[in-house]
With several copies, the nearest count.
Chain A
Amino acid sequence: MLFSTLAMQEVDGVVKALAGAVQQSGGAAPLILLLTVFALAVFLGVEIITKIPPTLHTPLMSGSNAISGITLVGAVLATGADNGTWAGILGFSAVVFATMNVVGGFVVTNRMLAMFKTKK
C-alpha cells in the first residue's frame, strides 16, 4: 500500500519534472545554453585559425579585431533604449568607439589584403 502510494507520487513528480524539463530552456537553462554556445565558438575559433600562413597574420589580426567590435550591437542596444542621460552618454561613446573599431578595422584589413592581389 504505502509503497504503491510512494511510487505514484514519484511518478507524478516525474511527469511534472519531465514537462518542466522539456520547456526548461525558458527557465533554468539559459546560462548553460549560453555557456554551451560560448564553448562551441571557442573550439571553432581554435580549429579555424590553427593553420594560417605568416603572410596573413596581420590581416587576420586586424580582421578579427574588427569582428570583436561586435560590441557595437551591445552599444546600440545600450544607447537605443530610454535609460536616462548617464547611460545614454555611456552608450553614445560606446557606439562611437565600437564603430571606429569595426569600420576602421574592416577598411584597413581590406587595404592590406588588396596588396596581395595578383595583378596580372
Chain B
Amino acid sequence: MSPDLIDLSYLLAASLFIIGLKGLTKPRTAVRGNLLGALAMLIAVVATMLDQNIVSVTGLLIAIGIGSIAGTILALKIEMTAMPQLVALFNGLGGGASVLVAGAFLAGREFSERVTSGAGFADVLTATAASGLIGAVTLSGSLVAFAKLQELKFVKDVSFPGQKLVNLLLTVGAIGLGWMLVTQPEHAQLWYWVMAGVALGLGVLLVISIGGADMPVVIALLNSYSGLAASATGFVLNNNLLIIAGALVGASGLVLTRIMCNAMNRSLGAVLFGTMKSGGSSLSDDEVYTSVKSTSADEVAMMLEVSQTVLIVPGYGMAVAQAQHAVRDLTNLLLNRDVDVQFGIHPVAGRMPGHMNVLLAEADIDYDRLKEMDEVNSMMDQVDVAIVLGANDVVNPLARTDPDSPIAGMPIIDVDKARTVIVVKRSLSPGFAGIANPLFAADNALMLFGDGKQAISEITKAFDDA
C-alpha cells in the first residue's frame, strides 16, 4: 500500500474513532459507537500491516492471535461484577504496550543510525521519555487497582509517613532520568529502562494508598493516562492516528474523572496528587450498632401491602446475590397490586458506574423506573417503604454527618428520611469503604438478614400468599 493510501486510511480511522466515541455517549447509539471504534481499529491495523515495510508477518500474526484469544476469553468469561477490574487490567496492558513500543524504538536500527549521524531530535526523545514514563505509571497503577478491586489478599491499603515526599522524589527522579535520556541519546536504553522502573514504582505508590471506594475515579484517570501514553508514542513514531486517538481518550478520560469526582464529591486535585483519604472507621461497631431491630419476610410483605410508594435502592449486594430477577418479579407483583415502585440509583452504587443500570436492564426492568439520586431524594418524603438491597456506603448517613469519615461529603440517597427502611443484607459487616453504618440502628430501620436473592424471593412469596 502506498504511503498516501495508508495516511488516508489513518484519517478514515481517526474519523471513525471520533464518531464512535461520540456514539458511546448516548444510550441509543452506544452499541454502534463501540462497533465503529472496533472497525476503525481494524482498518488502522490492516493498513499498517499492508505497509511494505512490515517484514515478519508471521510473528505478527502469532502475536495478534495470542492477544485476541486471551482478550476475548477474558472479556467473555468474566463475571459482570468483575468488569471494573477487567477494565483496569486491559488499561494496564495498554500502558505497558506504550512502554514496550517506545523501548523497541530505542532498540531499533533507525534510532541508532540517527544517534550516530548526530542529528538532533530532542523532540522525539522527549516524546519517548513521556511515553515510557506515563505508560509505566499506567501499567503498575492499573495492576494495583486491579488487585484492590479483585480484593487480592496481598494488597493492603498502604500508607506510611512521608509517603507524599517519597512520591514527589520518585516523580522528580523519573523526570530527571527522562532528561538524561534526552541529553545523552548514546545511553538512551539504559536511562529509559531505569526511568521506566522508577515510574513503575511510582504508579504502585500512587494508587496503593487510595481507598477502594475511590477506585472508579482512579481507573478513569489511569484510562486517561493510557491515552496520553499512546499519544506520546504517536509523537515518537510521527504517527497522526496514535496522536489523535490517544488525545481523544486522554481528554475524555479526564472529563469522565471530573464527572465522577463530582458524583463522589472528591476534588480532582486530590486524585491527581494521590492524596485521597483512605478507608478507616471513625466509629467502632459497638458504638454504632446499639439498637438494631431485625424483621422477617412476612412482616415486610405486610408492610408492602399497605404502602403506596415503594423505593428500592440496590447496591453491590444485589450484584453479588444476582438478585435482579427476583427484584423484577417482586416489582411486577407490586405494580399489579397498584403499589408504585421506583428505583433509586446512586451513581457509584456497585463496583462500577452504571453497574445497577446494567443489572436491572438485564432483568428487563422498565428504564423509566430507574431514577437518579437527586430525583429520588426530592421525593423521599412520599416513600412509604424503602428497601435497601445490598447497598451500604451509598446510603450511609455518616457521609452527611461525620466530616472525618472516608466517605464524608459524598452525596448519598437519603433513605433514612423515608417512612420505613428495610435493609436487606447478610450481616452487619461493612461495605466497600469499611465503615459502620448508623442507618442500620435508626428508629425507622429494620434489618432483613439473608442473601439478597433469597430474601427478596421470600418477600415476593409472602406477599403473593397474603
A-B contacts, CB under 8 A, total:
464
Chain A residues, CB < 8 A from B55 = 10-11, 14, 80-82
CB distance B110 to A19 under 8 Å?
yes
Tell me the minimal C-beta distance from B367 to chain A in angstroms: 8
CB distance B226 to A65 under 8 Å?
yes
Among the 9-residue stretches B146-154, B352-360, B432-440, the one with 4 or more Cβ atoms under 8 Å from chain A is: B352-360
CB distance A55 to B354 under 8 Å?
yes
- A114 interfacial by beta-carbon distance below 8 Å: yes
A91-B27 CB under 8 A given contacts A34-B243, A72-B45: no
Tell me the minimal C-beta distance from A83 to chain B in angstroms: 4
- B297 interfacial by beta-carbon distance below 8 Å: no
Residue of chain B at shortest CB distance from A7: B55
CB distance B70 to A104 under 8 Å?
yes
- B462 interfacial by beta-carbon distance below 8 Å: no
CB distance A72 to B41 under 8 Å?
yes
Bitwise, B70-110 to A at CB < 8 A (1) or not (0) is 11101110100001101100110110111011011101111
Chain B residues, CB < 8 A from A94 = 96-97, 100-101, 104
Instruction: Find A66's partner among B37, B124, B256 (CB 8 Å cutoff).
Output: B37
CB distance B67 to A96 under 8 Å?
yes
Tell me the complex Cα distance, A28–B248, Å: 21
CB distance A73 to B358 under 8 Å?
no
CB distance A71 to B64 under 8 Å?
no
CB distance A73 to B90 under 8 Å?
no
Within 8 A of B (CB), among A39-91: 39-84, 86-88, 90-91
Tell me the complex Cα distance, A23–B98, Å: 21
Chain A residues, CB < 8 A from B93 = 69, 97-98, 100-101
Chain A residues, CB < 8 A from B101 = 71, 74-75, 78, 90-91, 94
Instruction: Find A36's partner among B35, B56, B235, B240 (CB 8 Å cutoff).
Output: B240
- B33 interfacial by beta-carbon distance below 8 Å: yes
CB distance B25 to A48 under 8 Å?
yes
Tell me the complex Cα distance, A54–B357, Å: 9
State the A residues within 8 Å of B (CB): 10-11, 13-25, 27-84, 86-88, 90-119
State the B residues within 8 Å of A (CB): 3-4, 7-8, 11, 14-15, 17-18, 20-22, 24-27, 30-31, 33-35, 37-38, 40-41, 44-45, 48-49, 51-57, 59-60, 63-64, 66-68, 70-72, 74-76, 78, 83-84, 86-87, 90-91, 93-94, 96-98, 100-101, 103-105, 107-110, 113, 119-124, 182-183, 216, 219-220, 223, 226-227, 229-231, 233-256, 259-260, 263, 345, 347, 352-355, 357-359, 361-362, 364, 367, 372
The 5 closest A-B pairs by CB, nearest first: A99-B67, A45-B251, A104-B71, A20-B120, A17-B120
Give 22 CB contacts A-B under 8 Å. A22-B123, A31-B123, A32-B8, A33-B240, A36-B240, A41-B251, A42-B247, A44-B247, A44-B248, A54-B353, A54-B354, A55-B354, A61-B219, A63-B34, A72-B44, A73-B239, A81-B55, A95-B63, A100-B93, A106-B38, A114-B31, A116-B27
